[in-house]
Amino acid sequence: MTSKNGSSTNGYSPNTLASRTGGDVVCDAILEAGVDVVFGMPGGASLPFYDALYRYQDRLRHVQIRHEQAAGFAANGYARATGKVGVATSTSGPGATNMVTCMANDMMDSVGVVYITGQVARPVIGSDAFQETDITGISIPITKHSYLVLDVDDLPRVMKEAFHLAASGRPGPVHVDIPKDIFLESTTEVAPRDLNLRGYQPPKVGNRTMVRRAADVINASERPVIMAGHGIDISGASDELFELATCGNIPVVSTLHGVGTFPETHPLSFGMLGMHGLAYANFAMGQTDCIIGLGTRFDDRAVGKADEFGPDAKVVHIDVDPAEIGKVLQTDVPIVGDLKMTLEHLLPLIERRERVAWIDQLNHWRDEHRSLDIPESPDSVLPQEVVRAIYEVSGGKARVIADVGQNQMWAAQHFWYESPRMFFSAGGLGPMGYALPAAMGVKLADEHQDVWCVTGDGGLLINIQEFNTLAAEGINLKVAVLNNAHLGMIRQWQEFFYEGRSMGAYLDNPDFSKVAQAFGLHGMSANSRDEMNEAIQMAHAHDGPVVLDLHVDRVENVYPMIVPGTGVSSVIEDPR
Amino acid sequence: METQVHTLVATVQDHPGVLTRVASLFRRRGFNIASLAVGHSEEPGYSRMTIAVEGSSDDVKQCEKQLYKLIEVDSVRNVTNASAITRELAMIKVRVGASDRPALAAAADIFRGEIVDVSKSSMIVQMTGGQDKIDRFIDVVSDYPIEEISRTGAIAMVRESAD
């Protein structure tokens, strides 16, 4: 494929290892990446890989999910909880296409997952063979990179590159499509010690001049705000963020994925911003004179109308991905670099400042606009109360995985996350059905942690088959279903923007506690506040997976809300 | 914002699928390719792509950054405002009888084009040059029925600086 000095042959020391099959090469690469779980489902084209997994089963755990989409989401949860790479596998054709949503999700949320798909054998590729799909053709726009391996001698290098690409720089999904006969063939090749990826050099420390300019802008500002994004977690820069905020007395707001990167009970934390962010977090963005965007892509759900977002602010933006800088906001100080390394250089240049007037202003807004007060509700349990109850029962120590929609916003708002990797949800793509499988991955990442899956009834139904995986694998996680018998966010939007014409939002649900029981899980229902509290206590105490079908108010809305097309100054607050 | 055609030169790994990746990127980000030419470079294993893309300078800057993120793209350079030589090859088949041949040949000659085929009823003119020149030649001969035009798209190379 390449010539003598091309990359595919560079650095190999030939024939020094015993011969390995393609399947063994893949298993070895997974183990070398420090990964100990593979989520997947076998099929014709991946059978020889499963034969290798059979040989490796004492070292590498295979968790058989019940739908390939669950494999991808579980690998996402595992990756985010460990900071390592997740691995998901499927067969060719339908198995592979079932993981497409997961790849798109990882891509949007910058999560490192390696997808290993079986492909039909090389001689029949392109012949419309049984279960053949051009899956690398499909995955190109939704992966960081992809490979179709056509020579077993390339496989050791490809696998090593795949894990490196998935984990480094701005992480993302990497897809390796492997024909059935390649899993079976043997090779004596080993991966090169140093990878030769000329076109891929993830940035390290940001430009020093720019870092000094950032310090000048920050030091001169009276009303700065740090917008803490997912990059803080990815780069492991929470300590540096804490230093920056406390040294300069700079308030911190977080994006959905930045939740917990700065302790939410700290006086300088003003919570999550955005469409359903806290009122005062959004007000801060309207009035600030200096936005310090750290590891964020200024997503439209966080920013709203860009003209109203810090209209008078200088923008300092640090991100590892140069393409994110200047994409949404005009940036005064653009810095491309690893956050942790760059902040280490920035911190000594930051002056101690009190910024009393600004902090007072924010605290005044916080007192006036009580975004986290839960209204009285004598006749129904409010979903926010469920999240609070989980916060209380776990002492704030649970890892919470939310699905998509209202439940996601309540889980982000009404729990105070003290550290990163405590709150997980699918932000950019927003795939309902994420929470249950992702929670399995989070639990298997560290089984000592309490793990709560907070899902709506609609999202649960999308991957409810995974109850079977929970039971079969004995994955001890707690599932709290905020059951409002609706696609709640759809119902809310139809109420707000379609004069209440509800179409397709109502869900005629089964009894989820009985469904859980039929799968061999512990299932309980709750209709009142007392029953809800009792159920959550019981689930916390029970040693094993529990599903709680919690009947909550059917028409509760998520507040505050910024109506699409408007900005941070037009926050709609709870009318009660 | 004002749009214009920008010329990007990218060095890419000579792998199967790399053209698909580049084309896919342009399509999904809504960048409009005016032309794309690709061939081997001086370095074995690497190809050079010249991409003419329409857009505002902010759009094109974003396009360059996205292009650079592709793992198999080694370098990207916007040569629009650099001192670069841009050339394209075109072949133009014109329906022309014996009586009009001398006039067409003269026009081709003025543009330093070459007659590469003559039949009873047509001539093929081969033309190399900047895109403007080829456009102008096509305009000049457009009174004749033009049967076929095939253009390679531009390729570009930056000049060595004078000092």
pLDDT in tens, A388-397: 999 999 999 9
**What mean pLDDT is predicted for residues A190-198?**
93
pLDDT, tens digit (0-9, with 9 covering 90-100), for A95-142: 999 999 999 999 999 999 999 999 999 999 999 999 999 999 999 999
Could you tell me if B44 lies within 8 Å of chain A, comparing CB atoms? Answer: yes
Contact A515, A464 (CB under 8 A): yes
**Residue A3 pLDDT > 70:** no
pLDDT recorded at residue B162: 66
**What does pTM read for this prediction?**
0.94
Do the Cβ atoms of B71 and A141 come within 8 Å? no
Which domains does chain B carry?
A: 4-82 (3.30.70.260), 85-158 (3.30.70.1150)
Q: A99, A210, A422, A489: which is the annotated catalytic residue? A: A489
Q: Report whether A424 contacts A449 (CB < 8 A).
A: no
Q: Sheet of A423-424: strands edge to edge?
A: A423-424, A399-402, A451-456, A478-483, A546-551, A522-526
- Give the tokens for residue A429: 């793509």
Burial class (CB in 10 A: 0-12, 13-18, 19+), A527: middle
User: Long-range contact list for A538-544, CB < 8 A, 24+ apart?
Assistant: A539/A478, A539/A480, A540/A393, A540/A394, A540/A450, A540/A478, A543/A476, A544/A474, A544/A476
Which chain B residues have a beta carbon less than 8 Å from that of A136?
17
Question: Which of A140, A144, A197 lies at the smallest CB-CB distance from B24?
Answer: A140
In chain A, % of residues over pLDDT 90: 95
* Average pLDDT score, chain B: 94
Q: Do A2 and B14 lie within an 8 Å CB cutoff?
A: yes
| Total residues found in chain B within this entry | 163
**CATH classification number, A383-558, choose in 3.20.20.10, 3.40.50.970, 1.20.1740.10, 1.10.150.120:** 3.40.50.970
B117 burial via Cβ count (<10 Å: 0-12, 13-18, 19+): exposed
Closest chain A residue to B65, measured at CA: A323
A68 is catalytic: yes
**Contact A321/B17, CB-based, under 8 Å?**
no
The yes-or-no answer on residue A180 being catalytic is yes
ipTM of the complex: 0.89
Mean pLDDT for A491-515 is 97
pLDDT of residue A18: 85
Residue in B20, B44, B66 nearest the CB of A3: B44
Instruction: Identify all chain A residues contacting B71, using CB atoms and an 8 Å cutoff.
Output: 144-145, 165, 197, 199-200
Mean pLDDT of A329-341: 97
Confidence grade of residue A354 (pLDDT, cut at 50, 70, 90): very high
Query: CA distances (Å), A148 to each of A9, A62, A71, A142, in order?
Result: 17, 23, 20, 15
Query: In chain B, positions 69-98, which contact chain A (CB-CB < 8 Å)?
Result: 69-75
Q: What chain B residue is nearest to A199 in terms of C-alpha separation?
A: B74
Residue A5 has pLDDT above 50, yes or no: no
Q: For residue A131, indicate whether it is catalytic.
A: yes
**Which of these, A25, A53, A77, lies nearest to A403 by C-alpha position?**
A77
pLDDT of residue B163: 61
Q: Compute the 3-state secondary structure of chain B and give helix, strand, coil in percent, each to the nearest 5.
A: 30, 45, 25
Angle of helix A68-82 relative to helix A100-109, nearest 10 degrees, comes to: 20
Q: Is A344 exposed, middle or buried (0-12, 13-18, 19+ CB in 10 A)?
A: middle
Query: Residue A279 pLDDT more than 90?
Result: yes
Measured between CA atoms, the residue of chain B closest to residue A320 is B69
pLDDT in the model for residue A6:
38
Structure confidence at residue A16 (pLDDT): 52
> What pLDDT was estimated at residue A10?
40
Mean pLDDT across the stretch B119-148?
95
Higher pLDDT, A16 or B96: B96
Are B44 and A2 in contact (CB < 8 Å)? yes
- Given a cut of 90, whether residue A242 has pLDDT beyond it is yes
B138 touches chain A (CB under 8 A): no
Closest of A101, A60, A76, A108 to residue A439, by C-alpha: A76
CATH superfamily of this structure's domain A208-368: TPP-binding domain (3.40.50.1220)
Of A144, A200, A327, the CB nearest to B62: A327
Say what the pLDDT of residue A14 is: 41
CB atoms within 10 A of CB B143: 10
Residue A569: the pLDDT is 83
User: What does the mean pLDDT of chain A come to?
Assistant: 95
Q: Which of A392, A321, A371 has the alpha carbon at shortest distance from A562?
A: A371
Q: Which of B77, B89, B67, B90 is nearest to B6 (CA)?
A: B77
pLDDT classification of A11: cutoffs 50, 70, 90: very low
- Report the CATH fold assignment for A7-187: Rossmann fold (3.40.50)
CB atoms A136 and B70 under 8 Å: no
Q: Is B13 on the interface with A (CB under 8 A)?
A: yes
* Interchain CB distance below 8 Å, B45 and A7: yes
- pLDDT digits 0-9 by tens, A553-576: 999 999 999 998 898 888 999 998
CA distance A256 to A301: 9
| Every domain of chain A and the residues it spans | 7-187, 208-368, 383-558
Contacts of A298 (CB under 8 A, 6+ apart): A227, A306, A309, A317, A324, A327, A328, A329
Do A383-558 and A7-187 fall under one CATH topology? yes
Whether the Cβ atoms of residue A87 and residue A65 lie closer than 8 Å to each other:
no
What residue ranges in A41-152 does DSSP mark as E strands? 61-64, 86-90, 113-119, 145-148
State pLDDT tens for residues A217-237.
Answer: 999 999 999 999 999 999 999
Cβ contact (<8 Å) for A326 and B68? no
Contact B45, B14 (CB under 8 A): yes
Percent of chain A with pLDDT over 70: 97
Residue B132's Cβ-count burial label (10 Å; 0-12, 13-18, 19+) is exposed
**Distance from C-alpha of A201 to C-alpha of A328, rounded to nearest angstrom:** 24
DSSP string, A252-277: EEE-TTTTTSS-TTSTTEEEE-STTS
Torsion of CA A28, A30, A32, A35, to 10 degrees: -140
pLDDT confidence band for A13 (50 / 70 / 90): very low
DSSP state of B72: T
Check CB contact of B56 with chain A, cutoff 8 Å. Answer: no
Using the predicted structure, report yes or no on whether residue B107 has a pLDDT greater than 60: yes
A12: pLDDT strictly greater than 60: no
**A268 close contact with B: CB closer than 8 A:** no
Q: How far apart are CA A132 and CA A97, in angstroms?
A: 11
What CA–CA distance (Å, rounded) separates B86 from B89? 11
Per-residue pLDDT of A281-303, as tens digits, reads 999 999 999 999 999 999 999 99
**Burial profile A323-340: b = 16 or more Cβ within 10 angstroms, e = fewer:** bbbbbbbebebbbbbbbb
| B49-84 pLDDT per residue, tens | 999 999 999 989 999 999 999 999 999 999 998 889
Q: How far is the C-alpha of A410 from the C-alpha of A402, rounded, in Å?
A: 9
- Asked if A141 and B28 come within 8 Å (Cβ–Cβ), the reply is yes
- Mean pLDDT score, A522-529: 98
In chain B, alpha helices (H):
18-28, 57-69, 101-110, 131-140
Contact A196, A10 (CB under 8 A): yes
- Chain B residue nearest residue A322, CA to CA: B65
Q: Is B66 on the interface with A (CB under 8 A)?
A: yes
CA distance A296 to A147: 28
A51, pLDDT greater than 60 = yes
In this predicted structure, the answer to whether residue A17 has a pLDDT above a threshold of 70 is no
Q: Does residue A479 have a pLDDT over 60?
A: yes
User: What pLDDT is recorded for position A2?
Assistant: 32
Q: What is the mean pLDDT of residues A366-371?
A: 95
